[in-house]
Chains A and B, each alone.
Chain A
């Protein structure tokens, strides 16, 4: 059975390397000051997609990302790891989108791709940490969603069986296809870039990147469709201008504050090691500190 698999991915600022100029005065992220990387949990999602492809020869993995034209970098990265192709949804009018507008825009692009069996994405992106986009896309597409997926256990007979990693343990659920599955960081790590694929696809460029190249290189690329990364505009995916970008985003960032957690309470537990630890764990679970 060959599947049409869509992986949603985002190019994010590497928040693990944050400097003091990471935020602009208006409270939004200064992307220029941070290295851009493949959102880590989207890589976990890509691995699940590639495993589905391995198990179902003839399947296609399409990476879909919304962002600046340079987001073609993560498409190349995905292709090096085994994805078949990628689409960058990029348009000035999409800028400034919150999760509502983003999920609408991406849902429109997913519809445009059409005929998909499963849509995979990371649980959340490390820049916004909302975990809202995946579920909202499912909502807008009117299809089921499975969040916190750690492993796709099975896909057959029009259903997908997914192991979910939850706060208190694991849960295995079954959902009809097509559906949206968001994958957590505890899932299998993504496979590495493959040497031959890197050499084969290193010249892959997006439409706007191609426009800047010499006529000879463009002619070479015309003869190699596999090296062309599509760029889609808002109009191409038939997005309603009122539901995208700033107009479509009710969320306004007022301010971002640095919150420092400080311990306020101290508790001394008596008893033998085993006993005291067990009581401590129970207390922490009860007051929702952990678990």
Chain B
């Protein structure tokens, strides 16, 4: 029986990162829950053992039920009738199995029925689920909307909704509208306060993933007459109250098991979350950061399955009397796919650990005031999470698209047919670099950390760490790449024109990403020598990319921007 956790030792490597001890000890508040919950860990090793055991369940369910159902879910797809969306029948089976396995509300506190897992093992589960069925990962992964309720809603709302999520009710984020996609400030859905303090929602939302969910987080305009983000608030809509219908679902290229809905709100009863006017500027930003990390995990899962499918085919397919993997052109493609996969994954977990750390401090700050040192650490990790989230989302989603493309290429003509999983993987991959903010918007979020030096500081902190014996040459390469990157950043900054910086942003962010991921793989090698080869392959790839971008930046003059203008 396939188990997608145990068949992939890289996952255990990332789970057992040295920083996990700090994360777990903070998250478990010195293991106080063990007194009152018989499933709470008593110490660090016990907690880690719990994560492994639960990931083993995730791996088994994914390796059997969910992966086996992926094709039929893709064929059947979701449907819509009588104002509601309906999952494919195998999607219902998948959800049922996840509920029975208790894999909903994984990161929620135990007092609400959750498992109180840190983000890192939860994200690892998302990585595994996505490998089995990318579209299903959306439905399962929307449980992280509960995080927003936990962070910002009232105690009463938490007690009402979070246990339901832990029991397996699904969620959605109702943000996008026909005229408010990337630009959420333009949201028009109207929220009107009632004398009893509840609200009524009226209007339309579009492109809502899992839009017929049980519990919705809705962004709506609560302040009449406003036009920008400061007039928007966040609401919870409970499907049990009624008032929202699904007008239609989209006919999509991929992730067909995940219904993408157009919703009509007609006097739908809703509850305000947190403070008015903070909907977009605070809550949606938090929600989106969580969702972006989720998409990065989803992307890594896609890269994993794309690589595995390509590798299996290349070993089995014989041409000119030998397996095609023996031809250098194919072997090189596979090595690069593996390097992109490994680079994506190490960045994903580096980011998730930083998210874990700043969030746990934020949570502790609700119970007591932090010490000055703790506050400093929280700020530090928050900044790193802020810097790595768009980098991870942007890079891993682009890489998974490239891997899905190469997976088909390795299958040759057969890959273009519907006979192999690779064509589904290719279609499913495509959305990852679009939703929850396009790659271009990730670059907009990341460029700040290029210009303010967050990435360079991080890179320098990696460079200060010891490397494995025999990897010194790779480190020398990375030091040279870092120099090229710093020079390119300076050169762009010297022009002193934000339009010029925006124009060059993608290149600078990709340079930073390549160097960060190269270093992370080098550090992985220091802990686990099985990463040595992939660290070298990826560093070679990143070296060429950095050189390419460096050449472009160095030979470019501001006047040449005119060549690219609309």
Q: Which A residues lie at the B interface, using CB under 8 A?
A: 191-200, 202
A196–B57 touching, CB < 8 Å: no
> Using Cβ atoms and an 8 Å threshold, which residues of chain A touch B115?
195-196, 199
A191–B97 touching, CB < 8 Å: yes
Interface locus among B72-80, B100-108, B276-284, B356-364: B100-108
> Using Cβ atoms and an 8 Å threshold, which residues of chain A touch B54?
195, 198-199
Residue with the highest number of chain A CB atoms closer than 10 Å, among B40, B57, B101, B106: B101
Chain B nearest CB: distance from A193 CB in Å?
5
Chain A nearest CB: distance from B31 CB in Å?
13
B38–A194 touching, CB < 8 Å: no
- Name the one of B38, B41, B49, B101 contacting A195, with C-beta atoms under 8 angstroms: B101
Q: Evaluate whether A194 and B49 lie within 8 angstroms (CB atoms) in the complex, with A199-B39, A200-B38, A200-B39 already known.
A: no
Tell me if B262 is interfacial: C-beta within 8 Å of chain A.
no
A198–B100 touching, CB < 8 Å: no
Q: Could you list 8 A-B pairs, sorted by A, with CB under 8 Å?
A: A192-B100, A193-B101, A195-B101, A196-B115, A197-B39, A199-B41, A199-B50, A199-B115
Cα A145 to Cα B338 with chains together (Å): 56
**Extra inter-chain contacts (14) besides given A195-B106, A196-B102, A197-B102, CB under 8 Å:** A191-B100, A192-B60, A192-B61, A192-B97, A193-B57, A194-B102, A195-B101, A195-B102, A197-B39, A198-B50, A199-B39, A199-B41, A199-B54, A202-B49
Q: Evaluate whether A198 and B61 lie within 8 angstroms (CB atoms) in the complex, with A191-B100, A192-B97, A192-B101 already known.
A: no
Residue with the highest number of chain B CB atoms closer than 10 Å, among A198, A200, A202: A198
> Using Cβ atoms and an 8 Å threshold, which residues of chain B touch A198?
50, 53-54, 57
> Using Cβ atoms and an 8 Å threshold, which residues of chain B touch A197?
39, 102
Closest 4 CB pairs of A and B: A195-B102, A199-B39, A192-B101, A200-B39
> Using Cβ atoms and an 8 Å threshold, which residues of chain B touch A199?
39-41, 50, 53-54, 115
> Using Cβ atoms and an 8 Å threshold, which residues of chain A touch B41?
199
Q: Which B residues lie at the A interface, using CB under 8 A?
A: 38-41, 49-50, 53-54, 57, 60-61, 97, 100-103, 106, 115
Q: Evaluate whether A195 and B57 lie within 8 angstroms (CB atoms) in the complex, with A200-B38, A200-B39 already known.
A: yes
A202–B61 touching, CB < 8 Å: no
> Using Cβ atoms and an 8 Å threshold, which residues of chain A touch B103?
195
> Using Cβ atoms and an 8 Å threshold, which residues of chain B touch A195?
54, 57, 101-103, 106, 115
Cα A108 to Cα B445 with chains together (Å): 71
- Name the one of B39, B49, B60, B97 contacting A196, with C-beta atoms under 8 angstroms: B39
> Using Cβ atoms and an 8 Å threshold, which residues of chain B touch A193?
57, 60, 101
Cα A196 to Cα B39 with chains together (Å): 6
> Using Cβ atoms and an 8 Å threshold, which residues of chain A touch B50?
198-199, 202
- Name the one of B40, B100, B106 contacting A194, with C-beta atoms under 8 angstroms: B100
Residue with the highest number of chain A CB atoms closer than 10 Å, among B41, B54, B115: B54
- Name the one of B40, B53, B101 contacting A202, with C-beta atoms under 8 angstroms: B53
Cα A195 to Cα B49 with chains together (Å): 12
Chain B nearest CB: distance from A71 CB in Å?
20
Closest to B100 in A: A191
Closest to A16 in B: B1
Cα A193 to Cα B100 with chains together (Å): 8
> Using Cβ atoms and an 8 Å threshold, which residues of chain B touch A196?
39, 102, 115
A192–B57 touching, CB < 8 Å: yes
Closest to A220 in B: B42
Closest to A189 in B: B65
Chain B nearest CB: distance from A67 CB in Å?
21
Cα A196 to Cα B61 with chains together (Å): 16
Cα A181 to Cα B38 with chains together (Å): 34
Cα A193 to Cα B97 with chains together (Å): 10
> Using Cβ atoms and an 8 Å threshold, which residues of chain A touch B106?
195
Chain B nearest CB: distance from A226 CB in Å?
8
Cα A198 to Cα B102 with chains together (Å): 10
> Using Cβ atoms and an 8 Å threshold, which residues of chain A touch B38?
200
> Using Cβ atoms and an 8 Å threshold, which residues of chain B touch A192?
57, 60-61, 97, 100-101
Closest to B60 in A: A192
> Using Cβ atoms and an 8 Å threshold, which residues of chain B touch A191?
97, 100-101
Cα A202 to Cα B54 with chains together (Å): 11
Chain B nearest CB: distance from A255 CB in Å?
32
Chain B nearest CB: distance from A21 CB in Å?
22
Closest to A14 in B: B1
Cα A194 to Cα B101 with chains together (Å): 4
> Using Cβ atoms and an 8 Å threshold, which residues of chain A touch B60?
192-193
Closest to B93 in A: A189
Cα A45 to Cα B95 with chains together (Å): 22
Closest to B57 in A: A193
Closest to B98 in A: A192
Cα A199 to Cα B54 with chains together (Å): 8
> Using Cβ atoms and an 8 Å threshold, which residues of chain A touch B97?
191-192
Residue with the highest number of chain B CB atoms closer than 10 Å, among A191, A192, A202: A192
Chain B nearest CB: distance from A272 CB in Å?
29
Chain B nearest CB: distance from A17 CB in Å?
10
Chain B nearest CB: distance from A197 CB in Å?
8
> Using Cβ atoms and an 8 Å threshold, which residues of chain A touch B39?
196-197, 199-200
Chain B nearest CB: distance from A89 CB in Å?
27
Chain B nearest CB: distance from A83 CB in Å?
14
Cα A199 to Cα B50 with chains together (Å): 6
Cα A191 to Cα B53 with chains together (Å): 16
Cα A202 to Cα B61 with chains together (Å): 19
Cα A200 to Cα B115 with chains together (Å): 11
Cα A66 to Cα B103 with chains together (Å): 32
> Using Cβ atoms and an 8 Å threshold, which residues of chain A touch B102?
194-197
Cα A202 to Cα B39 with chains together (Å): 9
Closest to B47 in A: A199
Chain B nearest CB: distance from A241 CB in Å?
40
Closest to B166 in A: A196
Chain A nearest CB: distance from B309 CB in Å?
24
Chain B nearest CB: distance from A14 CB in Å?
10
Cα A194 to Cα B50 with chains together (Å): 12
> Using Cβ atoms and an 8 Å threshold, which residues of chain A touch B101?
191-195
Cα A195 to Cα B121 with chains together (Å): 13
Cα A200 to Cα B33 with chains together (Å): 13
Cα A200 to Cα B110 with chains together (Å): 13
Chain B nearest CB: distance from A174 CB in Å?
29
Chain B nearest CB: distance from A111 CB in Å?
32
Cα A192 to Cα B53 with chains together (Å): 13
> Using Cβ atoms and an 8 Å threshold, which residues of chain B touch A194?
57, 100-102
Closest to B104 in A: A195
Closest to A202 in B: B53
Cα A202 to Cα B103 with chains together (Å): 17
Chain A nearest CB: distance from B179 CB in Å?
42
Cα A202 to Cα B400 with chains together (Å): 37
Closest to A194 in B: B102
Cα A237 to Cα B60 with chains together (Å): 37
Cα A266 to Cα B130 with chains together (Å): 48
Cα A191 to Cα B60 with chains together (Å): 12
Cα A196 to Cα B102 with chains together (Å): 7
Chain A nearest CB: distance from B438 CB in Å?
35
Chain A nearest CB: distance from B222 CB in Å?
38
Chain A nearest CB: distance from B450 CB in Å?
40
Cα A197 to Cα B50 with chains together (Å): 11
Cα A202 to Cα B100 with chains together (Å): 18
> Using Cβ atoms and an 8 Å threshold, which residues of chain A touch B57?
192-195, 198
Closest to A200 in B: B39
Residue with the highest number of chain A CB atoms closer than 10 Å, among B39, B53, B115: B39
Closest to B53 in A: A198
Cα A195 to Cα B101 with chains together (Å): 6
Chain B nearest CB: distance from A27 CB in Å?
29
